[in-house]
Chain A
Amino acid sequence: MFALSLTTLRDRWTLFVGAIVTVTIGVALVQASLLTLIAAATADIAAGLPPTEDLLVRNGYESAISMMGMILFISGFVAMFIVGSTFAFTVAQRRRDLALLRLVGASRRQVQRLLVGEAVLLGAVGTGFGVALGFWVAGLEADLLIDFGFVPAGFTVAWRSWILAVSAGVGIGIAVAGSLGAARRAGQVRPLAALRATAKAERVMTFWRWIIGIIATAGAIAMMIISSAVGNEGALALSTSVCLVWIVALAALSPVIVPVVGGLVGLVSRLILPYSRLGELIHANLRDGVRRSSSTATPVMLLIGLLVGLSGAMDVMAAGSATEMELTLDGDLMVTATGDLGDELAAIPGVKTVSEEASVIVGVDEERGESQTNVAVLGVAIDPLTYPQTHRITEVEGDIARLDDGAVVLSRGLASTLGSDVDEMVTLQMQGVDQNLLLVATLRDTLAGPEVLLPLSDAAPGEPHRYIVQTASPAAAGAVAAEIAAMSPADPDFDVVTMDEWIDAAGDAEERTSRNIIIAIVGLAALYSAIAVVNAVVIAAAGRREEFAIARLSGLSRAQVVRAALWESLTVTTAGVLLGGAVAAGTVLGATAAVSEIVGRPVEATPWSLFALVTATATVLVIATSLATTLAATRMPPVAVAGARQ
């Protein structure tokens, strides 16, 4: 049986290239991420760091570990999914051969072993390439983590020989696990199928697809209802989960939905475009090739829904933060300096109020399930007298004016995480030392923070202070700014900008971080989706040589056959774009509603440019692959293909 697996793989290698590439990337990522994760988990943190620094480094490593964990999960899971659909596709195309084996005496189990044997071989080949690629990826990941600021510069990933065994297990495991469903179905092919002139089309829409599709759809709708009820941050978190659940639902139901949407797209394009002689053929092929259409449209849908949806939600949050800052901050200028400038600034003519503040990193023990984790939280040390004049804040409970040495103000969310009420004691770490502080007030939850307010005396020495300057009349702000700039103390941190400039810069910094994480994780899924799109087009065209030959014998020119196949692929791609666009739109709208609710003002950020970019990329991929594969499949004269039944 194994020898036969080998022959099949050698003969039909074009069908398996996508799966091999997938396993290769999967193995490379799992190997590299696992090594990187271990390196991050066992990294020596330099002794003698200041306690706050130490906390930040530890937190960075933890972020790195959870990001690597996520990459591990996604790469393994998605790779299995793509291998699975590749095998399902090849089984559908090889029904006749498999039936033939049954006819000459192969048992069900033997046919299943043939498929699993192919998977083992494919996995082994993929592992070979993947291990080599993994060396390179590990370096790339280390650089990326340093770039993101998750780990300190000089972070390296050590090679461990035992990873080879893990990689082989992962590569072959992914391939075999992915092939099991297809193998089961291959075993069900009846010997009689070898004799049917036209192999009876295998049902694409299986029982399990219905079950998963219906459960996921119900789940997505339920989550949407819940998110409108929970409001605020809960809704924000839910809106991205809803995106993922919708994607699962649509992927499972794609054999039902894609033909419908594809049919509509085809109908519309025939109305808009001048009448095409090929229109009818394209339409009929769309209706006929359900597996082909859904295999192409699903990864396109995944690509758009995931990338545009999640990154759009991030954009909305960034826009929300910026809007929130604009609404909260009531000042004209922002001055940064290390030295104490408060009195000097207040003395400048035209200055009405100066509010001094400094960022503080506070350690908080958060309970996550069973374990306690020490998390770094960004707080601000403030002057409780001037702060309310320059910040439009809302206390939920208590009074910020009571903030003094030994006291603290928390956001309501953090207070409830710590299980503390106003007038109770809470424990925070400052400079690595536990402090018992009296909670004097809680604030409304916000997107951008701060979550902790402390008296100015708690600011770390050497930390730059910010001065929010209110002028008597905003028209005079320019003159005041010039005067402040003229002070030019010998201070490298000294800077004066308008409040709008400062908010823009802060927003950009925040957007960059979230975008980096999105690119790293969703970009990975996008890479897989792109492979899956190409894979589906390649496999589909490979199985259509005879169909193309017959079309040409029926009077179509080679160019017409190629054009018909191209239009068909583009129609299917459009269907995928529409479905993915719907998922993305739902996610972005959900996030927009939640963010607007938190900020208290409508927030708008539509990821049109990203949508256009991803759509263009997917379309170019499909056009290139479709042209290449159809041209290859029509290279031989049609008589030679249609004549040879084998």
Chain B
Amino acid sequence: MALANVFHQPEQPLDVPNPYPDTIPPPGPSSGPAAIEFHEVSRVYGKQSTGVAALDNVTVGLAAGSFTAVMGPSGSGKSTFLHCAGGLEQPTSGRVIVAGNDITEASEAALTRLRRADVGFVFQNFNLIASLSAERNVAMPLQMAGRKPSRREVREVLTQVGLGDRMRHRPRELSGGQQQRVAIARAMVTKPTVLLADEPTGALDSKAARIVLDMLRSMVEQRGQTIVMVTHDPTAAARADQVLFLSDGRIVDRIDDPSARVVADRLARLEE
């Protein structure tokens, strides 16, 4: 993949059917090939009776090869949604299916396998291991999976994110945008079905943010990967195929082919 491709304006992929023709949340899981399915998922913190529901009976399907942005006011359940999708938190009730695996009651070992093969993560704080070079950070998931990563393989991925010449640098020797690109390269190296991103541009300036979003966009288009991205930034959300709006743990709205202005208006109304 050439880096130049990254700057192309995104287009709706034609081969992936959009499972949600309407702008309101669908009543059940999609009929198309979904990469992530939530079936009546609730996540309650504290006791069931008195606790706070971070997710309240959410049912949604996210099509394979789609780029979904998740937005909502603070405390609306965005992060919990992402954590449940990645098996980092277990729902209190309901079922979560990721890349065909029901992970609702999966064992630690099964979740570890899921993280090795099917799910990648990117976060606001980059979350790189400070003591390891960019190259070693990227190689880490392969190593954990018991593979001996070839230097060529790692170099290729780092080149794709434009850091082919920074392989030996430690995280603290890189800028924020560069660190986030290393984190993306780390998530790309296992070629996961699903990439979960929590505020990936939250700590970046607008130029670095655009480069990161371009990369995510091209992962969807060039590799057919599914991306779910939690964000506060309407400009970032506008790069997705669809935006889900969460409020008080429920999906309250959905916009397809979003533009930054429409997203910002909708978000402003939600936060009122």
A interface, CB within 8 angstroms of B: 4, 7-8, 10-12, 96-97, 100-108, 110, 190-192, 194-195, 644-646
Contact = CB atoms under 8 A, between A and B. Distances in A.
B166 interface: no
Given A192-B89, A644-B172, A646-B171, A105 B132 contact: no
A101 B144 contact: yes
A107 B131 contact: no
A103 B115 contact: yes
Contact of A191 (B88, B129, B171): B88
B141 A107 contact: no
B30 interface: no
B145 interface: yes
A645 B144 contact: no
Given A195-B123, A646-B128, A646-B179, A104 B140 contact: yes
Contacts of B190: 105
B131 A11 contact: yes
Report the 10 A-B pairs with minimum CB-CB distance, sorted nearest first.
Answer: A105-B116, A11-B131, A105-B144, A646-B130, A104-B141, A192-B88, A106-B144, A107-B112, A105-B115, A646-B171
Contact of A195 (B116, B171, B198, B203): B198
A97 B79 CA distance: 20
A264 to B, nearest CB: 34
B186 to A, nearest CB: 7
B126 interface: yes
A105 B88 contact: no
Most buried by A among B121, B126, B130, B144: B144
B83 interface: yes
A644 B108 CA distance: 32
Contacts of A104: 115, 121, 140-141, 144, 186
6 contacts: A4-B132, A104-B140, A190-B88, A195-B88, A644-B172, A646-B128
A8 B129 CA distance: 10
B179 A105 contact: no
B125 to A, nearest CB: 5
A415 B111 CA distance: 71
Most buried by B among A96, A103, A108, A192: A103
Contacts of A8: 131
A646 B108 contact: no
B270 to A, nearest CB: 23
A7 B190 CA distance: 23
A103 B127 contact: yes
Contacts of B198: 195
Given A104-B140, A195-B123, A645-B126, 19 more contacts: A7-B131, A8-B131, A11-B130, A11-B131, A12-B131, A96-B127, A97-B129, A100-B128, A101-B129, A101-B140, A102-B112, A103-B88, A103-B121, A104-B144, A105-B112, A105-B145, A107-B144, A191-B88, A195-B127
A203 B198 CA distance: 28
B109 interface: yes
Interface string B144-173: 110000000000000000000000000110
B82 to A, nearest CB: 9
Nearest to A103: B121
B150 to A, nearest CB: 15
Contacts of A645: 125-126, 203
Main secondary structure of the interface of A (DSSP, over half): helix
Nearest to A190: B88
A563 B79 CA distance: 40
Nearest to B186: A104
Contacts of B140: 101, 104
B132 to A, nearest CB: 6
Most buried by B among A100, A102, A105: A105
B88 to A, nearest CB: 4
Contacts of B141: 104-105
B115 A646 contact: no
Contacts of B115: 102-105, 191
A10 B130 CA distance: 12
B122 to A, nearest CB: 11
Nearest to B111: A191
Contacts of B83: 192, 195
A194 B127 contact: yes
Nearest to B109: A107
B100 to A, nearest CB: 18
Contacts of B126: 645-646
A7 B186 contact: no
Interface string B31-59: 00000000000000000000000000000
Interface in B65-124: 79, 83, 88-89, 108-109, 112, 115-116, 121, 123
B84 to A, nearest CB: 11
A7 B170 CA distance: 12
Contacts of A97: 129-130
A192 B111 CA distance: 12
Contacts of B179: 646
B75 to A, nearest CB: 14
B147 to A, nearest CB: 11
A106 B171 CA distance: 20
A61 to B, nearest CB: 52
Contacts of B171: 646
Contacts of A4: 132
Contacts of A7: 131-132, 136
A100 B129 contact: yes
A105 B140 CA distance: 9
B88 A110 contact: no
A96 B127 CA distance: 9
A11 B130 CA distance: 9
A402 B144 CA distance: 86
Contact of B127 (A100, A190, A644): A100
Contacts of A644: 172
B112 A106 contact: yes
B144 A108 contact: no
A457 B34 CA distance: 107
A272 B77 CA distance: 50
A107 B89 CA distance: 16
A3 to B, nearest CB: 8
Most buried by B among A101, A190, A644, A646: A646
B146 to A, nearest CB: 9
A216 B144 CA distance: 42
A7 B140 CA distance: 13
Interface string B171-188: 110000001000000100
A101 B143 CA distance: 11
B259 to A, nearest CB: 30
Contacts of B88: 103, 190-192, 195
Nearest to B128: A646
A12 B109 CA distance: 29
Nearest to B89: A192
A110 B171 CA distance: 23
B48 to A, nearest CB: 20
B25 to A, nearest CB: 26
Contacts of A10: 131
Nearest to A640: B172
A104 B185 CA distance: 12
Contacts of A106: 112, 144
A192 B179 CA distance: 20
Contacts of B145: 105
A468 to B, nearest CB: 76
Contacts of B112: 102, 105-108
A10 B198 CA distance: 32
A644 B33 CA distance: 41
B172 A646 contact: yes
Nearest to A195: B123
B160 to A, nearest CB: 18
A194 B121 CA distance: 11
A269 to B, nearest CB: 37
A184 to B, nearest CB: 14
A644 B88 CA distance: 25
A105 B112 CA distance: 5
A644 B136 CA distance: 20
